[in-house]
Amino acid sequence: MTLLWILGASFGTSIVSLAGRSIAFLGEARFRQAIHYTMSLAVGVLLGVVFFDVLPEALETASVESVFTWTIIGFLAFFILERSLRIYHCHEGHCPVHAVGYLNLIGDGIHNFIDGIIIALSFLVNPALGVRTAFAVILHEVPQEMSDFLVLLHAGFERKKALFYNFLVALPTVAGALLAYAFSGLLTAVIGPALGLVAGHFLYIAAVDLVPELHEGEHAQKKTASLVQAALIVLGIAIIWSGGELLGH
């Protein structure tokens, strides 16, 4: 049953992220507006999952020092991974247009593979945690994939080709989930540090990938939009908190 939940959540994440990219066909102006609001909700959900779900679960099986150390390691690891991908493909601060597109696809594939591992790990710890983690992954994937789709279009990819490649790089989510399930014995033996890495990963996405984007563009200059973004962040946190209260966790 656990395997079915893991497969369903990881495959569902891939499908939802693909649907998110399809919103680009509504037009770039509406597309960019939707990204900002979706990002705001995703920030709240990610923070809620980290502080109300992942870290409390980790602290039940490992010491505070161990969990927080691995959280920092996770944060730094994803920073190094992202920087390494950019440095490998870009030289002297300049990325050729086509290189940006392929860099985007490589980074997205690796990121989705890691998301699959995180989803599987969460279900192995607690089904309720797995559901909320999958929800957090989906919410941060939608604005990220929407942005990635625009990058591919600007890099010269045709819309159909961009969608096809994006579908291919979504599949590693399932592969990562299956790999994590296959080695579930090893993962559950180090569940505290593993969840610390998950927390670091989610914090990095919220603080480095999403929040800076909320300060960019026309929306950042509008007071009304800023209030809506803040409200959506609080809403995201509240959704996770209330979900935990209802489930008694």
- Using alpha carbons, select from 55, 49, 48 the residue that is nearest to residue 69: 55
Are 90 and 99 in contact by the 8 Å Cβ rule? The answer is yes
What are residue 28's phi and psi, to 5 degrees? Answer: -65, -35
CA distance 247 to 249: 5
- Tell me: pLDDT of 190 over 80: yes
- Tell me: pLDDT of 234 over 90: yes
Q: What is the pLDDT of residue 27?
A: 58
Residues 134-177: pLDDT tens digits? Answer: 988 888 777 777 767 777 776 777 777 877 887 788 889 999 99
Q: What is the mean pLDDT of residues 54-83?
A: 91
Averaged pLDDT of the chain: 80
Helix (H, G, I), strand (E, B) or coil at 87: helix
CA distance 85 to 66: 28
Are 230 and 153 in contact by the 8 Å Cβ rule? The answer is no
Are 122 and 134 in contact by the 8 Å Cβ rule? The answer is yes
- Tell me: pLDDT of 91 over 80: no
CA dihedral defined by 193, 196, 202, 208, rounded to 10 degrees? -110
For 90-154, the DSSP string reads -BTTB--HHHHHHHHHHHHHHHHHHHHHHHHHHHHH-HHHHHHHHHHHHHHHHHHHHHHHHHHHH
Q: What is the mean pLDDT of residues 77-90?
A: 72
Q: In terms of residue numbers, what domain contains 82?
A: 2-246
Q: What is the pLDDT of residue 149?
A: 73
CA distance 206 to 116: 18
Angle CA 246–248–249, to nearest 5: 110
> Sorting pLDDT into bands at 50, 70 and 90, what band is 224?
confident
Q: What is the mean pLDDT of residues 233-238?
A: 92
- Tell me: pLDDT of 248 over 70: no
Q: What is the pLDDT of residue 98?
A: 56
Percentage of residues in the chain having pLDDT higher than 90: 26
DSSP lists the bridge partners of residue 94 as 91
- Tell me: pLDDT of 38 over 50: yes
How many domains in the chain? 1
Q: What is the mean pLDDT of residues 180-204?
A: 89
- Tell me: pLDDT of 3 over 60: yes
Q: What is the pLDDT of residue 219?
A: 62
> Sorting pLDDT into bands at 50, 70 and 90, what band is 24?
low
